Amino acid sequence: MTGVTLRLNTDRWRAHQQRVAQSAPGLVPVAKGNGYGFGLRRLAEEAQLLGADTLAVGLPGEVAAVRDVFAGDIVILNPWRPDDPGAAELARDPRVITTVSRLEDLEILANLSGSRPDGTTTPLPRVLIEAQTSMLRHGIPTSDLEGVEALAAYVAIEGWTIHLPIPTDGEDNLEEAARLALACQSARPGPLWLSHLPAERIGALTGRLPEPVSVRLRIGTRLWLGEPDCLETTATVLDVHRVRRGDRAGYRQRRIPSNGWLVIVSGGTAHGIGMEAPTSATTVRQRAIALASGGLEAAGHALGPYTLDGKKRWFLEPPHMQSSMVLLPEGATPPEVGDEVPVELRLTTALVDQVVDAPPA
């Protein structure tokens, strides 16, 4: 193996997905951005296997990556805007559901439907109407929801979308969900598409509405990354150099702080490595201790995500685009070229070179 690898215990991963699907009726899997480390196409295949009837992507440009492997409907989460010609085309696609977060955009979409000059008719754009939540990201304010009804005949309204903030410890977003759901239902009855409401709260939510309503839960992180034990990420050792204290190395020709080895490992900024704050010595107190003891951190080194001989090790210098230079002090056992070593990746920002369906060793 070369580069950075994501290994999957596929059976366990799929069993976890099935558990999430059973606990969240009407599940809409979310596959967007870097595909949560797996890639959009792979997630579309998984959603298909899982039996989902709808898959969510983030952007209009992501539809193409999933539409050939996923057979059902595709909802675009980012709200539609009139300045994107690709999105206007997709709004006419019978398999695509467009999210609309402003009345003026709904009006433009309403005008897309109907007869064309060549005599053919365009199917009504399928839309979800987004209500504004306390996130204040996108959405029609509660006071304007009434305006939707006037345009409802010219689009196919699939429901309402409510994107809640993630509940923090001890807090609950049910109150807000219920208040907004009521406002939406009184403007126009229709299914509710929710994000970040715990599945076990759905009953409490629908119980507070005057009429029965179907609920769809959009889930990404918990579905794909909720069982970390079935995932393992590794990097490949590309080179190992014996070094002495005071030697210089790297782009910046920094001094090697102690005798040992300089290990060159695959993975760099292009893989999303080194894009987080250093994981050690982050508090003021810890920094003071590091300075006082003259540790590597005091000299401007950062702890890297690679585990070599059982421990996280320090970067010599910031990661390069596709490889990193890591210090291994004397006393440790150096790896060999070609060895795979564990690397900690945040999979929502990582780009791996390959996903391998083989259980972690």
Ligand X SMILES: *Cc1c(COP(=O)(O)O)cnc(C)c1O
Q: Based on CB atoms, which residue is closest to ligand X, 39 or 250?
A: 39
Instruction: Determine how β-strand 96-100 pairs with β-strand 73-76.
Output: parallel
* Shortest reach from residue 311's CB to ligand X, in Å: 31
> Which residues of the chain form contacts with ligand X (CB under 6 A)?
30, 32, 77, 163, 195, 218-222
* Shortest reach from residue 224's CB to ligand X, in Å: 8
* Shortest reach from residue 190's CB to ligand X, in Å: 17
Q: 129: buried, middle or exposed (CB in 10 Å: 19+, 13-18, 0-12)?
A: buried
What are phi and psi for residue 85, nearest 5 degrees? Answer: -60, -35
Q: Based on CB atoms, which residue is closest to ligand X, 77 or 316?
A: 77
The stretches of 29-76 forming alpha helices (DSSP H) are 40-50, 63-66
Q: Based on CB atoms, which residue is closest to ligand X, 118 or 169?
A: 169
**How far apart are the C-alpha atoms of 90 and 76, rounded to whole Å?**
10
**How far apart are the C-alpha atoms of 262 and 340, rounded to whole Å?**
16
* Shortest reach from residue 130's CB to ligand X, in Å: 8
Q: Based on CB atoms, which residue is closest to ligand X, 84 or 353?
A: 84
* CA-wise closest residue to 344 among 41, 37, 99: 37
Q: What is the CA radius of gyration of the chain?
A: 25
Q: Based on CB atoms, which residue is closest to ligand X, 184 or 256?
A: 184
Which tokens in the block code for residue 146? 């009434």
* Shortest reach from residue 306's CB to ligand X, in Å: 26
DSSP state at residue 361: -
* Shortest reach from residue 192's CB to ligand X, in Å: 13
**How far apart are the C-alpha atoms of 136 and 131, rounded to whole Å?**
10
Q: Based on CB atoms, which residue is closest to ligand X, 30 or 237?
A: 30
